[in-house]
Structure 1
Amino acid sequence: MKDFDHLLSVWQEQPKLPKLSVDDVLKQVKKGINKLGIRVLWSIVSISVAIATTAGLTLFAVFEKRLSYIGLFVLLIGMIVYLVLQIGDYRTIARHDLTLNPGAYLNSLKEYQKRRAYLYGRFYYAFVLMICVGISLYTVEVLNNKPLVFRIIYYTLCAAYVLFCTFYLKDKLIQREEKRVSYLIERLERLEEQFE
């Protein structure tokens, strides 16, 4: 019983977390959400330009082999699915007004975090596979009359870039975004606990 009393006294002596200022938390969360929103919007614009370019190439370029068209269609499908997911992510974080209902906003942030985990987790590998297959099928005809050394260098550089993005860059981006979103969620949860 003595140990329990000692443990209880130590627990009660723990310093309480300082109360958060509502205005400061709201400013921090809005700033963080704006950064996330701008990043997602930039992704939407970038993939839209890529889709328009690929669609233009598909419609107006003349190829002898069907393989090139199949490759371009695979690229288009992968990019369109990615665009739809990005638009969904943007709508998730821009759907609610933080000042009207912080609880609903907190839930939308958690939903955003889950969607991004899916995007970077499972879908990323499907997306990369579709892009690689599409580019490979497209470049068969485009690089057909190029020297073998050029084709080897091209495919090697493409493979190295995909591996670099998959095993290094993706992890860094995920960690940075996860850290930002977790920080925002933690701030809102602490604020919510303060008012309970």
Structure 2
Amino acid sequence: MKDFDSLVGIWNEQKTAPQIDYKEVINQYKKSREKLSLKFFQEILLMLPAIFIVIYLWINISFSFWTSYLGLSIVAGCCIYFIVIQLINIKNIVNSNTLFDKPQDHIQFLQKFRKSRYIQHTRNYKIYSIALGLGISLYFIEFFYSLNIWIMLGIVTATIAWFVICYMYLMKIYINKEEKRFTEMIENLERLSNQFKDEI
């Protein structure tokens, strides 16, 4: 009898456990989606000046070496690639309206989107960095013959240092923040989904 009373007590505790407030979860989720879209949009706006600078250099400066034009083309290609990828990401978020129709499909969409973002930040970012570095290196050939050797070494060292800081430090912070945001979004929706299953 004592065991039965204990079992009933445990059951009642579970039954009266605080339920997740679905309105709060959905509002948080909407805010996270908006922040993610806004972040992509801001990154596009930050990349646009780089393209304008490359176009300006191409049109207004007469370079002595063809490598400068090739280098600028590669840098412009990297900038365009970055903008296109961010536009695709924004489009994916805007078009993902399955939360209320098919919640489980929406959770799967988020998991796939998270995976594709991780690939963009790791494998694709390596290729992007190599291409960007190659473009800048080809562009720097122009200045190798006209600038003082120490100034040139300073510029090259500063550029390499910036690439290393971005790759080894800043990118890891960026990835961790985004992973944390995705984890929070997915976990909240999964908990909400499980709660509705339990109530049915």
CA distance in 2, matches of 1:127, 1:32: 27
Matching residue's letter, 2:71: G
Matching residue's letter, 1:109: L
Q: Count matched residues.
A: 185
Question: TM-score by structure 2 length?
Answer: 0.84
CA contact 2:143–2:152 (8 Å) conserved in 1: no
CA apart distance, 1:24: 0.3
CA apart distance, 1:74: 1.0
Counterpart position of 1:114:
115
Alignment RMSD: 2.1
Question: SS where residue 128 of structure 1 aligns?
Answer: helix
Deviations 1:120-148 (A, max 9, x none): 01010111111111111112113531111
Counterpart position of 1:79:
79
Q: Which has the greater radius of gyration? A: 2
Counterpart position of 1:183:
184
CA apart distance, 1:28: 0.6
Deviating 4+ runs (over 4 angstroms): none
Matching residue's letter, 1:175: N
Counterpart position of 2:132:
131
Please say if 1:19 is aligned against 2:19. Answer: yes
CA distance in 1, matches of 2:112, 2:133: 30
Counterpart position of 2:95:
95
Distance 1:41 1:104, change over 3 A: farther
Question: TM-score by structure 1 length?
Answer: 0.85
Q: Which stretches in structure 1 are left out of the alignment for 5+ residues?
A: 1-8
- Percent identity between matched residues is 27
Counterpart position of 1:6:
none
